[in-house]
Amino acid sequence: MVKITGIEFRNPTILASGIMGTTGASLVRMANSGAGAVVTKSIGPEPKTGHPNPSMVKLDCGFLNAMGLPNPSYADFDNEIKIAKEGADVPVIASIFGGNAEEFVRVAEGLTEAKPDAFELNVSCPHAEGYGATIGTDSCMVEAITAAVCDAVDAPVWVKLTPNVTDIRSIGKAAENGGADAVVAINTLRGMAIDINSGYPILGNRFGGLSGPAVRPVAIKCVYDLYETLEIPVIGVGGVSSWEDAVEMIMAGASAVQIGSAVHEGIEVFGNIATGIEQFLQDNGYAGVEDITGLAHEVI
């Protein structure tokens, strides 16, 4: 059991946004597979179709995707959160996005009736023009958006950060200054793949976000830096596919870990990782996850 931003989780594994989070039923399925919490697909102020296909490609080092934040809008998604809340016995976090503070607030307020356990602000998607990282690279905008949502809702507010910046610590600090209860690091890294036979980019959007094993060292460093800088919890995400990966990220400073791309290999990944972490703690005489959170900072 871990407790983050006042929410209790049965284990430190969380379904990352954008993976199996498009319906209430799929969120319940992930909870039943062992996830300690689930995060919805990012939901915005208006319906959005996303980018044309191909929108996802598997590479030798992970996945490259450019979905473009497709979603039905908050007005048509609140019932999916209610379904997830009724059917899942774990916290349900609503991931939301907008083009400015007013849109973020409108979406958050529109989903409040569904009673998500927390809101995760997506200011980090690297392939949606006018949204995501377009906002998340500006510390002033991040602070203003965070403050506006915190003022509008009673639930905890998490801010998901982009690694596509010079110094993620300054963006994390802006979120903390805006009143964020936690930060989530990291979203995908900008990337591109080209078909050498045609000479054309493979993705319909030309470029997208890289996830999977290749990004884990980047995520570890970002989590490490944020843990040193911030007073609020850091939730780690990026390339976690085994309990060893999760323990490494926790030792860097993560209070919990989100799992995304690894779900493609099987939804039992949550239970496997949670069991592995628990066994590691027992074998090494640790009472709980908090005993190894940020441990890498203590040995220097």
SS (H, E, C) the chain: CEEECCEEECCCEEECCCCCCCCHHHHHHHHHCCCCEEECCCECCCCECCCCCCCEEEECCEEEECCCCCECCHHHCHHHHHHHHHHCCCCEEEEECCCCHHHHHHHHHHHHHHCCCEEEEECCCCCCCCCCHHHHCCHHHHHHHHHHHHHHCCCCEEEEECCCCCCHHHHHHHHHHCCCCEEEECCCEEEECECCCCCCECCCCCEEEEECHHHHHHHHHHHHHHHHHCCCCEEEECCCCCHHHHHHHHHHCEEEEEECHHHHHCCCHHHHHHHHHHHHHHHCCCCCHHHCCCHHHCCC
Res. 21 pLDDT band, cuts 50 70 90: confident
Residue 290: pLDDT above 90?
A: yes
pLDDT (average), residues 131-137: 76
Look up residue 21 and give its amino acid.
G
Catalytic one among 61, 125, 150, 222? 125
What's the whole-model pTM score?
A: 0.95
Cα 240 from Cα 142, distance rounded (Å): 26
Q: What percent of the chain has pLDDT over 90?
A: 85
pLDDT: is 10 or 127 the higher one? 10
Q: Is 50 annotated as a binding residue?
A: no
**Omega before 12 cis (within 30°)?**
no
Res. 19 pLDDT band, cuts 50 70 90: confident
Ordered domains of the chain (ranges, CATH): 2-47+67-188+211-298 (3.20.20.70)
Residue 128: pLDDT above 80?
A: no
How much is the mean pLDDT over the chain? Answer: 94
Q: Is 235 annotated as a binding residue?
A: no
Q: Is 98 annotated as a binding residue?
A: no
Q: Is 222 a catalytic residue?
A: no
Q: Is 69 annotated as a binding residue?
A: yes
pLDDT (average), residues 62-86: 93
